[in-house]
Amino acid sequence: MGIVQKNTILSELTVREAMRRQVISLPREADLSAGIQRLIKFKVNALLITDAGAPAGVVSKTDIMGAYYAGLPIDLPLGDIMVSPPHFCRPEDSLEAALEQMREHGIYRLYVQGEGGAVAGVIAYPDIAGILYQYCHECKYSRLRRSERSGDDPQLRFRVKEVMTPSVWSHGADEPLTAIMEGLSEYRMGAALIVDEDGAPAGVVSKTDLALAYRHGCDAGVPARSIMTAPVRSCGEEAFLEAAIRTLIFSQIHRIFVFREAPSRITGVLSLSDAARVRSGSCHACVSSRITVGDPA
């Protein structure tokens, strides 16, 4: 008898189960404005760029932000700013392997190469967080459906503070968009917390907000307050991870700010990427159940 350690539930799930089959793409000749239009319309963070129909590169919201910062014209071809080549995985790869590949290359999504080399789908961090949520939902110990089960040990459940990034940087509401973009780029973040004169959270400027501002012809020197989204979505440090994930997913936001005691005291941020990196469902039972005693090989 030996101890068999399976890493996480992500080793058992494949890319096929979590990938999205709709891949939003544009030819390299299409301009940045058309690219942003697709990103907004289909609610995706990146586009696959094709050259004569074949995958040639990727343009993400981060690349769009870079173009905005550099003052590039909105009618520039997407091919001029794309990052190539696109990275691929296979439908039969485990989610664990896909996450490894993303981390190795410092990227947030992989395209999925199906039979015959055709593009069969795309998988990104939110898709993985989504399947973890679904996994918890179907679990026989699920608290998502029965929130008040007697005899449950709340210690088993992850709390937001265990998973969040415990530092937040913020910008003043009067700082120009260029300063926000510098911050987002430096900290590799998807959104910036905007605070008022008293340091209280006033709003959020995300890469989506910046892409829209770029497309709408907004000057990059305008203050953050003119395009920020308010109010700030936040949750307490002690909140259960699954509740936070549910808010993230259904509100279609990529991060939720975390406060201690009062919403005015922001202490961290939880992103869907953080949730995916937990590599488990939303409770410790899921992790410990991965260590099973099996028959000798």
Q: Say how far apart CA 82 and CA 60 lie, in whole Å.
A: 8
Binding residue count for other proteins, defined by CB under 8 A: 29
Query: Measured from the CB of residue 291, what is the shortest distance to other proteins in angstroms?
Result: 27
Which of 1, 2, 3, 41 forms a contact with other proteins (CB under 8 A)?
A: 41
Taking phi over 0 as left and psi of -120 to 50 as alpha, with beta for the rest, 70 belongs to alpha
Asked if 128 contacts 100 with a C-beta cutoff of 8 angstroms, the reply is no
Q: What are phi and psi of 89, to 5 degrees?
A: -130, 180
Q: Does residue 11 belong to the site contacting other proteins (CB under 8 A)?
A: no
Residues in 97-136 that interact with other proteins by CB under 8 A: 126-127, 130-131, 134
Q: What are phi and psi of 118, to 5 degrees?
A: -70, 155
Q: Which is nearer to other proteins, 229 or 267 (CB)?
A: 229
Query: Measured from the CB of residue 252, what is the shortest distance to other proteins in angstroms?
Result: 5
Which of 92, 216, 222, 292 forms a contact with other proteins (CB under 8 A)?
A: 216
Asked if 9 contacts 128 with a C-beta cutoff of 8 angstroms, the reply is no
**Axis crossing angle, helix 32-41 with helix 207-215, rounded to the nearest 10:** 130
Q: Does residue 28 belong to the site contacting other proteins (CB under 8 A)?
A: no
Query: Measured from the CB of residue 186, what is the shortest distance to other proteins in angstroms?
Result: 25
Q: Does residue 226 belong to the site contacting other proteins (CB under 8 A)?
A: no
Asked if 83 contacts 97 with a C-beta cutoff of 8 angstroms, the reply is no
Q: Does residue 229 belong to the site contacting other proteins (CB under 8 A)?
A: yes
Binding span for other proteins by CB under 8 A among 31-39, 76-84, 170-178, 279-287: 31-39
Q: Say how far apart CA 133 and CA 14 lie, in whole Å.
A: 15
Q: Which is nearer to other proteins, 37 or 289 (CB)?
A: 37
C-beta neighbour count of 104 within 10 angstroms: 9
Contact code string over 231-260 relative to other proteins, x by CB under 8 A: ---------------x--xxxx--------
Query: Measured from the CB of residue 131, what is the shortest distance to other proteins in angstroms?
Result: 6
Which of 90, 137, 161, 277 forms a contact with other proteins (CB under 8 A)?
A: 137
Q: Say how far apart CA 262 and CA 253 lie, in whole Å.
A: 21
Q: Does residue 61 belong to the site contacting other proteins (CB under 8 A)?
A: no
Contact code string over 154-183 relative to other proteins, x by CB under 8 A: ------------------------------
Q: Say how far apart CA 113 and CA 92 lie, in whole Å.
A: 10
Q: Which is nearer to other proteins, 206 or 280 (CB)?
A: 206
Q: Does residue 140 belong to the site contacting other proteins (CB under 8 A)?
A: no
Helix (H) or strand (E) holding 257: strand 255-259
Whether residue 73 is preceded by a cis peptide bond, meaning omega within 30 degrees of 0, is: no
Q: Which is nearer to other proteins, 12 or 267 (CB)?
A: 12
| Single-letter residue type at 42 | F
Tokens 């259960």 belong to 240
Number of DSSP helices (H) and strands (E) in the chain, helices first: 11, 14
Give contact residues for other proteins (rule: CB under 8 A).
18, 20, 34, 36-37, 40-43, 126-127, 130-131, 134, 137-138, 144-145, 209, 212, 215-216, 227, 229, 246, 249-252
